[in-house]
């Protein structure tokens, strides 16, 4: 999709801060090939829906590093010894999230080396992230935006993990690694009050999604990664707060705008970059279906437990006037429960298998 005049104008006014590594050189083009059964590495980027806690991460926000001066970098030893922490605050969902369920990596309580997993999970998502600070302000001064997550990966992790992926048996990087990106939840919410007044939501989000591809996806493609999974927005119009509003914010229409722009841009990326596989998983349709038929998924409440943050609510929910947390669709005002993440993954795997060639 060609950006509108307004979106192009917006992009021309900003200088995105992602780093383009000198080593990110295009490899000879090949036909697109993806097989879920061949995947041995999942490299993830995004926000709190995707972040996992690491022993070298910012507490409650990241697997490794943060955006404060001098703290985005890490050594090879720190990266390879960093462990996924699975506990009550190890994700933003009170339990494992979708990338952990998808890979089976870090699901059980305790600490886990990604390299010990059958599908290694290397997660650079940061809770609270938007696409870029050039579009929307940081949630905190330590929040790492998406374009900087991928820059962080390419500068400090790719030199360490890339050769390992290439050297794994007969698999090459293009076949053994799947790059996963779930972004936009904060962007759509934040832009309700923080986008420039002289640009439409569609044009603003067009510019943001263009930045996702130009500042994050293309540099990863240049580094040899060929298989990309994008996840569209969940039903943000049906959060607990929005369920009681006559005019939800964001609206169902707005969520649809972001998802349509993402789908079109992913298709264009695949068409213009030979060998690239750009898959967009329609989480929105599946999750709306869950909310429409919750009893089929063991969900009895479409809101959330008000005392979700209390540790004892896991074992004594009745003392807080709650149902067991696994019976809620939402974990809190903005995040889905761990149970909802879990029930989405079989459908996602079906999608990945259908995309396999």
Q: Please write the tens of the pLDDT for every residue from 193-218.
A: 999 999 999 999 999 999 999 999 99
The CATH number of residue 305's host domain is 3.40.50.1110
For residue 353, pLDDT beyond 90: yes
- The radius of gyration computed from the CA coordinates of the chain, to the nearest angstrom, equals 19
| pLDDT at residue number 166 | 87
User: Is 10 a domain residue?
Assistant: no
User: Is 249 a domain residue?
Assistant: yes
Whether residue 330 contacts residue 302, with contact meaning beta carbons closer than 8 Å, is answered with: yes
**Picking from 149-153, 172-176, 235-239, 279-283, which range would have the lowest pLDDT averaged per residue?**
172-176
Whether the link from the prior residue into 250 is cis, omega within 30° of 0, is yes
pLDDT band at 6 (very low <50, low <70, confident <90, very high): very low
**Cross-sheet strand order for the sheet of 277-281:** 120-123, 41-46, 177-182, 227-231, 277-281
Of 93, 170, 99, 53, residue with least CA distance to 329 = 93
Domain extent, residue 247, equals 30-355
The structural domain count of the chain equals: 1
User: Is 20 a domain residue?
Assistant: no
User: Is 133 a domain residue?
Assistant: yes
Q: Tell me the mean pLDDT in the region 301-316.
A: 94
User: Is 47 a domain residue?
Assistant: yes
User: Is 346 a domain residue?
Assistant: yes
User: Is 17 a domain residue?
Assistant: no
pTM as predicted: 0.91
For residue 303, pLDDT beyond 80: yes
CA dist., res. 65 & res. 72, Å (int): 5
For residue 311, pLDDT beyond 80: yes
- DSSP per position, 186-243: HHHHHHHHHS-TTS-HHHHHHHHHHHIIIIIIHHHHHTT--EEEEE----GGGSHHHH
User: Is 76 a domain residue?
Assistant: yes
């Amino acid at each position: 999709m060609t950006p509108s005049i307004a979106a192009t104008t917006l992009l021309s006014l900003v200088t995105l801060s992602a780093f383009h590594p000198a080593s990110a050189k295009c490899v000879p083009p090949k036909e697109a090939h993806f097989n879920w059964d061949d995947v041995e590495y999942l490299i993830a980027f995004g926000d709190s829906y995707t972040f996992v806690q690491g022993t070298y991460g910012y507490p409650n926000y990241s697997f490794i590093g943060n955006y404060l001066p001098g703290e985005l970098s890490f050594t090879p030893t720190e990266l390879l010894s960093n462990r996924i922490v699975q506990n009550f605050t190890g994700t933003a969902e009170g339990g494992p999230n979708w990338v952990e369920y998808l890979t089976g990596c870090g699901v059980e309580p305790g600490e886990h080396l990604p390299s010990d997993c059958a599908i290694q999970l290397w997660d650079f998502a940061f809770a609270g992230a938007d696409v870029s600070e050039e579009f929307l302000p940081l949630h905190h001064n330590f929040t790492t935006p998406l374009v900087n997550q991928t820059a962080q990966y390419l500068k400090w992790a790719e030199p360490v993990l890339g050769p390992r992926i290439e050297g794994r048996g007969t698999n090459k990087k293009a076949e053994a690694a799947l790059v996963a990106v779930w972004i936009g939840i904060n962007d759509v919410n934040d832009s309700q009050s923080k986008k420039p007044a002289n640009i439409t939501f569609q044009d603003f989000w067009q510019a943001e999604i263009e930045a996702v591809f130009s500042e994050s996806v293309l540099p990863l493609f240049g580094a040899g990664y060929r298989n990309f999974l994008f996840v569209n927005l969940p039903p943000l119009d049906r959060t607990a707060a929005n369920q009681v509003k006559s005019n939800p914010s964001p609206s169902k229409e707005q969520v649809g705008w972001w998802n349509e722009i993402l789908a079109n841009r992913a298709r264009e990326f695949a068409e213009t970059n030979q060998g690239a596989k750009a898959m967009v998983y329609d989480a929105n349709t599946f999750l709306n279906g869950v909310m429409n038929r919750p009893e089929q998924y063991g969900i009895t409440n479409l809101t959330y437990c008000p005392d979700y943050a209390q540790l004892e609510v896991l074992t004594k929910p009745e003392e807080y006037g709650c149902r067991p947390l696994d019976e809620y669709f939402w974990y809190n005002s903005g995040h889905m429960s761990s149970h909802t993440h879990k029930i989405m993954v079989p459908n996602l795997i079906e999608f990945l298998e259908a995309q396999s060639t």
